[in-house]
């Protein structure tokens, strides 16, 4: 196997292990699963009530939607609100320490003595976080899909799994990667978490609402990733089955987010290279 | 072969750690001694490609460390044990070695396994290899550090204070291991424990304030102090004369001093066979006197 | 110096001098446990009968809890303050000052300042200027308290454990430092808000932010100490803040809610950090403020207790794990 690929896959594999053993991903995954299962139980209790029947008939009349669309909408809406929020805002704070931990644990000196390119190191760290978080997502998606099916009944499973895998995947790839990269220069976990909280706070408030005005471009720069977060909360998306992840605005938000991540990666890469030259 | 010419390193803030150092290191085990802040760790880090010199040239097996390609090529031949080695507390000893082996470029899983098992045997960590590193004692952490440095059969092994934290038995074991390794690679051993060098190196350098004070065989350093090492026993008072006390031993009816220098009177003073430590201390004293 | 060191035992020393006080503390803890048990019985009974708890039932439970909390949390907190004052020479304030995160402080000041600006509510129609201090400041304090002391991130932990001073002091003095700094900012913001919006009562303006700040401080510090990861404490604090700020008017009694949340929302209001003065009666609002404040202080106390077991602090293993040789 080529050395670079071997190094990359090695970093990914061990970063994956270390993230799971640090328990914070485990807690987030279990919390997302538990909340969704509780919501499934709550919704099951609610299904027999008049308010839900009224909602179904109202949507039937107004939108011409079928019962399964309404049920799928209810399930996706209920699940995505806490999951999307956790992935957009909580996960970045928890994974921000990925690179600073090497400094804090004093493993950096050893890593710097190895024939490891900065790009491979950064890519491995980012991919390791993505793989670790996605594994949790796959578990949560499976467990919650079964619980919805058991407690509430048949629904559009493809849309549901697509929401978990594509929606969550997009949020982890954008916000998780951005957090790992932006916190790369911090010497401690505490400083890394603080930096990401500050950036996310400013990003959500300033870019997401105050400065954005009518500009989608500015709004999509915000770590709120509004089109992705809101994708499964709009009923008009449910007119086709399965509910498509990509629409004009999600594609736009995804593209802007990817550009952000690439720029951050380039800046961090050149900064680390410069630091290595100047050390 | 390592060639260092006119090497200077000045840190931000103006601290000059290396000041025009010239050194050539051939195969075998090379010892590096010097007082705290002499520039040993800086030199080690430059050789390991971790930091850049301010000026001067460094070539490791022909690879120029000024270039990125040269540094990467040199790193591929290197085993490095830093003075302050950090470990990943949530990985087991075996996993940590596997991780470092992958990053060193050992791509074959079977080869990695073979090397790891052999090294775990050599540093006697087989029984605890599947325990998490956060449960390791100080000595075990040091030994796992030694094992990672030996991964990939490096051509150049740089070890900074390797025996700190090891018990006497482990220290001897590790010295023997290094001596065996010295037959097939170049080893640079930096230490404060002069005894480690006297037992294993046939070539050494003493550096102080970023410059080489001495370069040669341990026997040559010892020769410099011959005739200046004495044992003097007194009732308790320090012996008179231009002396430096190396050790003090409380006896039943007095105190025995091991001193370097010229005693005021050689009556009752016993000339001793010098050690490498005496030679080192004598050299440092001469330098301070000259300064 | 030895006179100072003899005082290090803190409350234990106080109890050994006055054994009756130890009985009071025991009784207070017992009463808190009884109130908690009564709460669970009430909730179970309401689920069994199929009717959520009424406002009056929750009020009586909250009053009993507040009383128990005053004795079990408020009284030791007051004792700790007195002891701290007596031994103030032994606090390492300078070191604690280094634990302050200035970007967060500056961010909190800027955020509060922007929200207090005239016309802020016209730019952000969802925003009420009267809430300028209570929205951001408690979150900043909570996150700061979460980041204040994490055993895994403390470089001098072993040395600190070897000192004759209890480790909990390090946490408490950092929290005190954070509170002192943010307290001044909050008071300045409150005064600025009152001068900008003259209709506000001073005590209401203070009650709007001090209890939620205490609660989020407690949540942050306790979660961090429990999980050993400061980022986790900060994240949990942010989530709780988010839930209560954005669902403030939903998590109330008498608001129609789906099953089984309709059983939970009537009992949340006593500890709802963002309950507004007009949500419930004045008496209930006061009771809520008292409960929120005391629960916050109680969580800080629990966080300090986490640091009593020095072996657990240092090694991170559970007692059972250590007994098993872990």
pLDDT tens column, B16-37: 999 999 999 988 999 999 988 8
pLDDT at C1 over 50: no
Confidence of residue B98 (pLDDT cuts 50, 70, 90): very high
pLDDT at B154 over 80: yes
Could you tell me how many CB contacts below 8 A there are between chain A and chain C?
78
CA distance A47 to A45: 6
pLDDT for A214: 65
Which backbone phi and psi does C128 adopt, to 5 degrees?
A: -110, 120
Task: Tell me the nearest-neighbour CA distance from A124 into chain B, angstroms.
Answer: 11
pLDDT for C267: 86
Per-residue pLDDT tens for C174-193?
999 999 999 999 999 999 98
Per-residue pLDDT tens for A60-76?
666 655 666 777 888 88
pLDDT at C11 over 80: no
∠ at Cα A235 (A211, A146), nearest 5°? 110
Q: Which parts of A48-164 fold into alpha helices (H)?
A: 50-63, 67-85, 91-95, 100-104, 108-112, 118-151, 157-162
pLDDT for B110: 94
The verdict on residue B290 lying in a domain is no
The chain B residue lying nearest A273, using CA atoms, is: B68
In this structure, the answer to whether residues B174 and B269 fall within a common structural domain is no
Total tally of structural domains belonging to chain B: 2
Tell me if chain C has a CB within 8 Å of the CB of A87.
Answer: no
Label each residue of chain C as H, E or C.
CHHHHHHHHCHHHHHHHCHHHHHHHHHHHHHHHHHHHHHHHHHHHHHHHCCCCCHHHHHHHHHHHHHHHHHHHHHHHHHHHHHHHHCHHHCCHHHHHHCCCHHHHHHHHHHHHHHHCCCHHHHCCCCCHHHHHHHHHHHHHHHHHHHHCCHHHCCCHHHHHHCCCCCHHHHHHHHHHHHHHHHHHHHHHHHHHHHHCCCCCHHHHHHHHHHHHHHHHHHHHHHHHHHCCHHHHHHHHHHHHHHHHHCCCCCCCCCCCCCCHHHHHHHHHHHCCCCCCCCCCHHHHHHHHHHHHHHHHHHHHHHHHHCCCHHHHHHCCCHHHHHCCC
Contacts of A97 in chain C (CB under 8 A): 231
pLDDT for C264: 79
CB contact under 8 A, A202 and C124: no
Report the range of poorest mean pLDDT among C87-96, C172-181, C274-283: C87-96
Q: Residue A234's closest CA among A4, A80, A11, A67? A: A80
Strands B203-208 and B211-216: antiparallel
Residues 6+ apart with CB under 8 A from A48: none
Distances (CA, A) of C313 to A24, A188, C167, C168, C303: 18, 19, 9, 11, 12
User: Which two tokens mark C41?
Assistant: 């019985």
CB contact under 8 A, B91 and A10: no
CB contact under 8 A, A279 and B48: no
CA distance A36 to A149: 12
**Omega of the bond leading into C204 within 30 degrees of 0 (cis):** no
pLDDT at C19 over 70: no
Domains of chain C, by residue range, sit at 2-323
Question: CB of A237 within 8 A of CB of A77?
Answer: no
Task: Give the closest of A85, A193, A210 to C231, CB-based.
Answer: A193
In this structure, the answer to whether residues B88 and B52 fall within a common structural domain is yes
CB contact under 8 A, A194 and C103: yes
Chains in touch with A (≥3 Cβ pairs < 8 A): B, C
CA distance C57 to C52: 10
Total tally of structural domains belonging to chain A: 1
Per-residue pLDDT tens for A249-267?
888 889 999 999 999 999 9
Residues 6+ apart with CB under 8 A from C6: C13
DSSP-derived letter for residue B4 is E
Residues 6+ apart with CB under 8 A from A139: A29, A33
For chain B, list residues whose CB is within 8 angstroms of any CB belonging to chain A.
Answer: 45, 48-52, 72-73, 75-76, 78, 80, 82, 84-91, 95, 98-100, 102-105, 107-108, 148
pLDDT for A209: 62
Residues 6+ apart with CB under 8 A from B72: A115, A117, B49
Per-residue pLDDT tens for C53-81?
888 888 998 998 888 888 888 777 887 88
Q: Which residue has the higher pLDDT, B86 or A232?
A: B86
The verdict on residue B280 lying in a domain is no
CA distance B147 to B149: 5
Question: CB of C218 within 8 A of CB of C300?
Answer: yes
Strands (E), chain B: 2-10, 16-25, 28-33, 55-60, 63-64, 78-81, 156-160, 186-190, 203-208, 211-216, 229-234, 241-251, 254-263, 269-271
In this structure, the answer to whether residues B257 and B148 fall within a common structural domain is no
Distances (CA, A) of A55 to A47, A59, A70, A71: 10, 6, 9, 10
The verdict on residue B103 lying in a domain is yes
CB contact under 8 A, B105 and A10: no
Report the range of poorest mean pLDDT among B121-135, C115-129, C257-271: C115-129
The verdict on residue B286 lying in a domain is no
Tell me if chain C has a CB within 8 Å of the CB of A199.
Answer: no
Contacts of C238 in chain A (CB under 8 A): 89-90, 93, 197
The verdict on residue B287 lying in a domain is no
DSSP-derived letter for residue A174 is I
The verdict on residue B32 lying in a domain is yes
> Going edge to edge, which strands form the sheet with B229-234?
B241-251, B254-263, B229-234, B269-271
- Domain around A196: 3-278
In this structure, the answer to whether residues B150 and B232 fall within a common structural domain is no
Q: Residue A216's closest CA among A179, A262, A247, A176? A: A247
Confidence of residue C324 (pLDDT cuts 50, 70, 90): very low
In this structure, the answer to whether residues B70 and B134 fall within a common structural domain is yes
Quickly tell me which residue has 């073979």 as its tokens: B114
> Going edge to edge, which strands form the sheet with B186-190?
B78-81, B156-160, B186-190, B28-33, B203-208, B211-216
Quickly tell me which residue has 């591929």 as its tokens: B76
Quickly tell me which residue has 């031949």 as its tokens: B77
In this structure, the answer to whether residues B155 and B232 fall within a common structural domain is no
In this structure, the answer to whether residues B74 and B152 fall within a common structural domain is yes
Mean pLDDT across the stretch B229-255?
87
* Length reported for chain C: 326
Other beta carbons within 10 angstroms of residue A263's beta carbon come to: 12
Residues 6+ apart with CB under 8 A from A235: A59, A63, A65, A73
Residues 6+ apart with CB under 8 A from B238: B245, B257
Distances (CA, A) of A210 to A40, A214, B66, C244: 36, 10, 49, 22
pLDDT for B4: 94
pLDDT for B214: 92
Surface of A (260-279) touching B: CB under 8 A: 276-279
CA R_g for chain C: 21
Residues 6+ apart with CB under 8 A from B11: B17
Other beta carbons within 10 angstroms of residue A233's beta carbon come to: 14
Confidence of residue C326 (pLDDT cuts 50, 70, 90): very low
Report the range of poorest mean pLDDT among A99-113, A223-237, B118-132, C179-193: A223-237
The verdict on residue B283 lying in a domain is no
- Domain around B88: 2-222
Question: CB of B267 within 8 A of CB of B230?
Answer: no
The verdict on residue B29 lying in a domain is yes
CA distance C270 to A20: 37
Question: CB of C223 within 8 A of CB of C237?
Answer: yes
Contacts of B75 in chain A (CB under 8 A): 113-115
CA distance C36 to C5: 38
CB contact under 8 A, A188 and C153: yes
CA distance C213 to C273: 8
Report the range of poorest mean pLDDT among C82-86, C141-145, C224-228: C82-86
Mean pLDDT across the stretch B54-70?
92
Per-residue pLDDT tens for B186-231?
999 998 788 888 888 889 999 999 999 999 999 999 999 999 999 9
CA distance A125 to A192: 15
% pLDDT > 70, chain A: 84
Contacts of A30 in chain C (CB under 8 A): none
CA distance B44 to C67: 66
Tell me if chain A has a CB within 8 Å of the CB of C227.
Answer: yes
Q: What percent of chain A is helix, strand and coil (3-state, nearest 5)?
A: 80, 0, 20
In this structure, the answer to whether residues B83 and B177 fall within a common structural domain is yes
DSSP-derived letter for residue B133 is G
């Amino acid at each position: 196997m080529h050395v670079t690929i071997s190094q990359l896959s090695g970093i990914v594999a061990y970063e994956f292990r270390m993230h799971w053993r640090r328990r914070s991903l485990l807690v987030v995954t279990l919390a997302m699963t538990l909340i969704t299962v509780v919501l499934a139980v709550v919704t099951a209790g609610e299904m027999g009530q008049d308010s839900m029947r009224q909602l179904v008939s109202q949507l039937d009349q107004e939108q011409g939607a079928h019962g399964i669309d309404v049920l799928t909408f209810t399930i996706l809406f209920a699940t995505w609100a806490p999951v999307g929020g956790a992935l957009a805002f909580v996960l970045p704070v928890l994974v921000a320490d990925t690179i600073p931990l090497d400094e804090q644990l004093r493993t950096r000196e050893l890593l710097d003595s190895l024939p490891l390119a900065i790009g491979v190191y950064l890519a491995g760290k980012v991919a390791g976080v993505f793989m670790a978080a996605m594994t949790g997502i796959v578990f949560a998606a499976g467990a919650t899909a079964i619980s919805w099916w058991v407690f509430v009944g048949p629904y559009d499973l493809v849309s549901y799994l697509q929401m978990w895998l594509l929606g969550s995947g997009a949020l982890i790839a954008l916000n998780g990667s951005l957090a790992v990269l932006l916190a790369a220069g911090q010497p401690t976990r505490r400083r890394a978490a603080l930096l990401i909280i500050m950036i996310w706070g400013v990003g959500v408030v300033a870019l997401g609402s105050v400065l954005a005005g009518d500009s989608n471009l500015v709004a999509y720069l915000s770590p709120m990733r509004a089109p992705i977060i809101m994708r499964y909360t709009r009923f008009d998306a449910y007119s086709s089955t399965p509910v498509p992840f990509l629409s004009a605005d999600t594609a736009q938000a995804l593209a802007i987010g990817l550009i952000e991540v690439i720029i951050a990666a380039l800046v961090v890469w050149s900064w680390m290279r410069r630091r290595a030259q100047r050390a | 072969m390592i060639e260092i010419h006119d090497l200077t390193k000045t840190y931000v803030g103006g601290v000059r750690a290396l000041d025009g150092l010239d050194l050539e290191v051939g195969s075998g085990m090379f010892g590096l001694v010097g007082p705290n802040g002499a520039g040993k760790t800086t030199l080690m880090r430059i050789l390991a490609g971790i930091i850049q010199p301010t000026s001067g040239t460094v070539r490791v097996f022909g690879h120029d460390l000024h270039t990125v390609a040269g540094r990467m090529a040199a790193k591929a031949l290197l085993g490095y044990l830093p003075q302050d080695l950090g470990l990943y507390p949530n990985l087991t000893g075996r996993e940590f070695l596997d991780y470092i082996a992958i990053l060193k470029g050992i791509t074959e899983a079977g080869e990695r396994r073979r090397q790891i098992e052999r090294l775990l045997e050599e540093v006697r960590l087989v029984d605890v290899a599947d325990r998490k590193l956060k449960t390791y004692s100080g000595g075990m952490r040091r030994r796992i550090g030694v094992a990672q440095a030996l991964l990939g059969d490096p051509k150049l092994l740089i070890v900074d204070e390797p025996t700190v934290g090891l018990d006497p038995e482990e220290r001897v074991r590790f010295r023997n291991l290094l001596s065996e390794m010295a037959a097939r690679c170049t080893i640079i051993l930096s230490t404060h424990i002069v005894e480690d060098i006297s037992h294993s190196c046939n070539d050494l350098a003493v550096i102080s304030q970023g410059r080489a004070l001495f370069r040669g065989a341990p026997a040559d350093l010892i020769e410099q102090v011959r005739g200046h090492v004495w044992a003097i026993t007194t009732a308790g008072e320090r012996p008179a004369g231009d002396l430096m006390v190396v050790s003090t031993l409380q006896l039943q009816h007095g105190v025995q001093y091991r001193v370097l220098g010229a005693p005021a009177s050689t009556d009752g003073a016993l000339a001793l066979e010098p050690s490498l430590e005496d030679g080192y201390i004598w050299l440092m004293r001469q330098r301070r006197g000259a300064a | 110096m030895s006179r100072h060191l003899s005082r290090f035992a803190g409350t234990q020393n106080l109890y050994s001098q006055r054994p009756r006080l130890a009985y009071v503390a025991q009784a207070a803890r017992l009463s808190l446990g009884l109130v908690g048990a009564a709460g669970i019985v009430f909730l179970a009974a309401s689920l069994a009968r199929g009717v959520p708890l009424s406002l009056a039932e929750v009020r009586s439970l909250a009053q009993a809890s507040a009383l128990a909390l005053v004795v079990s949390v408020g009284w030791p907190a007051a004792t700790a303050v007195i002891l701290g004052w007596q031994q103030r020479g032994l606090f390492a304030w300078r070191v604690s000052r280094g634990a302050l995160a200035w970007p967060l402080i500056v961010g909190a000041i800027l955020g509060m300042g922007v929200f207090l600006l005239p016309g802020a509510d016209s730019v952000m129609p969802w925003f009420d200027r009267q809430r300028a201090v209570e929205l951001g400041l408690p979150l900043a304090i909570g996150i700061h308290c979460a980041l204040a002391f994490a055993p895994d991130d403390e470089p001098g932990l072993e040395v600190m454990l070897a000192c004759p001073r209890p480790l909990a002091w390090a946490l408490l003095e950092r929290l005190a430092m954070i509170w002192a700094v943010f307290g001044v900012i909050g008071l300045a913001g409150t005064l600025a808000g009152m001068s900008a919006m003259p209709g506000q009562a001073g005590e209401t303006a203070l009650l709007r932010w001090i209890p939620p700040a205490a609660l989020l401080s407690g949540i942050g510090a306790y979660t961090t100490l429990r999980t050993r990861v400061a980022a986790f404490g900060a994240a949990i604090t942010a989530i709780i803040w988010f839930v209560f700020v954005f669902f403030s008017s939903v998590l109330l009694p008498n608001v129609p809610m789906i099953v089984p949340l309709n059983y939970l929302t009537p009992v949340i209001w006593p500890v709802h950090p963002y309950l507004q003065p007009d949500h419930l009666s004045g008496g209930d609002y006061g009771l809520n403020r008292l409960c929120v404040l005391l629960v916050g202080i109680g969580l800080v106390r629990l966080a300090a207790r986490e640091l009593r077991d020095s072996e657990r602090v240092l090694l991170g293993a559970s007692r059972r794990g250590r007994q098993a040789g872990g």
